[in-house]
């Protein structure tokens, strides 16, 4: 579709809706094409699960309990508050 810039100004919201729907709108000045209005490419959603797979290894002592941290989370443990 071709449309004069002056007319496009008055109907910009409708032209954007049409471009989003896939229509290509060519803007003209004095009958000559000067620009195109097209819908943007859809944004890709990135799934971050597994993105760092095999990038690092957890230490062997990863699951060992730390008394101070356990006390902070659960309110008990072997840490002496004094």
Residues 17-54 have pLDDT tens digits of 999 999 999 999 999 999 999 999 877 777 777 777 77
Strands 25-29 and 2-4: parallel
The pLDDT of residue 11 is above 80: yes
CA dist., res. 9 & res. 12, Å (int): 5
pTM greater than the 0.85 cutoff: no
Q: What percent of the chain has pLDDT over 90?
A: 48
**Maximum C-alpha span of the chain:** 85
As a whole number, mean pLDDT of residues 63-81 equals 69
- Retrieve residue 79's tokens: 């840490």
Distances from the Cα of 7 to the Cα of 3, 46, 52, 62, angstroms: 7, 39, 51, 66
Higher-pLDDT residue of 34, 63: 34
Return the pLDDT at 82. Answer: 58
- Residues with Cβ within 8 Å of residue 38, at least 6 apart in sequence: 19, 24, 25
CA 52 to chain centre: 19
């Amino acid at each position: 579709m071709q449309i004069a810039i002056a007319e496009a100004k008055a109907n910009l919201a409708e032209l954007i809706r049409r471009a989003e729907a896939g229509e290509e709108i060519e803007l003209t000045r004095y009958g000559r094409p000067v620009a195109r209005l097209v819908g943007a490419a859809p944004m890709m959603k990135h799934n971050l699960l597994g993105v760092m797979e095999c990038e690092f290894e957890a230490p062997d002592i990863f699951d060992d309990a730390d008394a101070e941290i356990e006390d902070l989370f659960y309110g008990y443990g072997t840490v002496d508050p004094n």
